[in-house]
Structure 1
Amino acid sequence: MRRRLTLLVGATMCLALLAFVVPLALLLRTVAQDRAVVAAAADAQSLVSLVGTADPDTLRFSVEHMAAGSRGPVTVFLPDGSVLGTPAPRTSAVRLAARAGVSRTVERPDGREIVVAVLGRQDGTAVIRAFVPAAELTRGVTRAWLVLVGLGVALLLLGLLVADRLSRTLVAPIAELSAVSHQLARADLTARARPVGPPELREVAGALNHLAGRIQELLREEREQVADLSHRLRAPLTSLRLETESLADADEGARIAARVDAMERAVTGLISEARQRRVARVDAACEATASLRERVAFWTVLAEDTGRGVTLDVAATGPLFVGVAADELAAALDALLGNVFAHTPDGTGFAVTLAPRAGGGALLTVADDGPGMSADQVRRGASRGGSTGLGLDIARRVAQSSGGRLDLATGPTGGARVTLELGPPASGPSPEGRL
Structure 2
Amino acid sequence: MRERLIAAFVGLAVVVVALYGIPRAYIVADQAFYSEQRKIERSVALLAALLPDAAVNGHLTEEYLGELIQAGERIEVRDADDVVLAAAGPLLTGHSDDISVTRELDDGSIVTLERSGLTVAASVADAVTPVVILGVGLVLFSALAGFALARLLSRPFQELADTAGQLGNGKFDLEEKHYSVPEAREISVALHSSSAALSELVQREREFAANASHQLRTPITALRLELEDLTLWKETPPAVTEQLTHSLKEIDRLSTAVSELLELARGQRLSDAREVDLGLIATKAAARWERQITADGRDIFTLGGPLPAVINPGPVHQILDVLIENSIAHGAGTIRVVLADAGTHLSLTVSDDGARPVRTNIFTRRVTQGAGEGIGLAVASELAEAIGGHLVLGAEERTTFNLMLPKRELVSAWPR
The TM-score bracket by the shorter chain reads 0.5 to 0.7
Distance 1:257 1:73 in 2: 118
Per the alignment, residue 356 of structure 1 pairs with 340
- Contact 1:366/1:419, CA 8 A, preserved across alignment: yes
In structure 2, what is the equivalent of residue 263 of structure 1?
254
Q: Are residues 1:217 and 2:224 paired? A: no
Q: 1:144 aligns with which of 94, 112, 127?
A: 127
1:334 alignment partner in structure 2: 321
**Matched-pair contact (CA < 8 Å) for 2:277–2:306:** no
TM-score by length of 2: 0.66
Q: 1:289 aligns with which of 257, 279, 283?
A: 279
1:12 alignment partner in structure 2: 12
Measured in 1, the distance between the counterparts of 2:214 and 2:286 equals 27
Distance across 2 between alignment mates of 1:285 and 1:215: 38
* Runs of 5+ unmatched residues, structure 1: 89-107, 119-124, 411-416
Out of 379, 382, 386, the residue aligned to residue 394 of structure 1 is 379
Q: How many residues align?
A: 386
Find the aligned partners of 1:303 and 1:221 in 2 and give their Cα distance.
38
C-alpha contact 1:395 1:420 (8 A) present in aligned 2: no
* Alpha-carbon distance, 1:421 to partner: 1.3
Matches within 5 A, 1:237-276: 237=220, 240-241=223-224, 244=227, 245=229, 250=236, 252=240, 254-255=244-245, 257-274=248-265, 276=266
| Contact persistence 2:2–2:151 (CA under 8 A) | yes
Match of 1:421 in 2: 402
Measure how far apart 1:137 and its partner are. 5.3
Distance 1:367 1:358 in 2: 21
SS at match of 1:354: strand
Deviation at 1:169, TM superposition (A): 3.6
Q: Give the distance between the partners of 1:357 and 1:310, measured in 2 at CA.
A: 28
Please give the per-residue CA displacement for 1:377-401, whole angstroms capped at 9, x wherever unaligned.
Answer: 9464476863444223333444566
Q: 1:115 to 1:429 in 2, by over 3 A?
A: same
Quote the offset at 1:110 in angstroms: 4.7
Q: 1:384 to 1:126 in 2, by over 3 A?
A: same
Q: Contact 1:395–1:406 (CA<8 Å) still a contact in 2?
A: no
Q: Which consecutive unaligned segments of at least 5 residues does structure 2 have?
A: 88-95
Whole-angstrom distance in 2 between the partners of 1:129 and 1:224:
109
Which residue of 2 is the match for residue 167 of structure 1?
150
* Stretch moving more, 376-385 or 419-428: 376-385
Task: State yes or no: 1:278 paired with 2:287.
Answer: no
Provide the rounded CA distance (Å) in 2 between the counterparts of 1:58 and 1:381: 112
Kindly provide the amino acid, as one letter, of the partner of residue 232 in structure 1: Q
2:12 alignment partner AA = T
CA distance in 2, matches of 1:337, 1:77: 115
| TM-score when normalising by structure 1 | 0.63
Which AA in structure 1 matches 2:340?
P
Tell me the amino acid that sits aligned with residue 206 of structure 2: R
| Deviation of the 1:404 alpha carbon | 3.6
Q: CA deviation at 1:156?
A: 2.8
Structure 1 residues 192-201 or 205-214, which shifts more? 192-201
Question: Hey, what does 1:92 align to over in structure 2?
Answer: none
1:75 and 1:373 map into 2 onto residues whose CA distance is: 100
Look up the equivalent residue of 2:123 and give its one-letter code.
G
104, 112, 115: which is aligned to 1:133? 115
Matches within 5 A, 1:172-211: 173-178=156-161, 181-182=164-165, 184-185=167-168, 198-211=181-194
Note closer, same or farther for the CA distance 1:285–1:73 as it changes in structure 2 (3 Å cut): same
Give the distance between the partners of 1:221 and 1:161, measured in 2 at CA.
51
- The AA in structure 2 aligned to 1:25 is A
Q: Does 1:405 align with 2:392?
A: yes
Whether the 8 Å contact between 2:280 and 2:306 is mirrored in structure 1 is: no
Task: Report the Cα offset of residue 328 of structure 1.
Answer: 1.0
**1:170-228 deviation line (CA, Å, top 9, x unaligned):** 45555555455455555566787976684434543443454344333322211211222
Is the alpha carbon distance of 1:343 and 1:235 closer, same or farther for their aligned partners in structure 2, counting shifts above 3 Å?
farther
Cα distance between partner residues in 2 of 1:282 and 1:194: 40
Q: Are residues 1:153 and 2:136 paired?
A: yes
1:228 paired with 2:211, answer yes
SS at match of 1:353: strand
> What SS does the corresponding residue of 1:140 show, helix, strand or coil?
helix
* Greater C-alpha Rg: 1
Answer whether contact 2:78 2:86 (CA < 8 A) is retained: no
Gap change, CA 1:263 and 1:282, over 3 Å in 2: closer
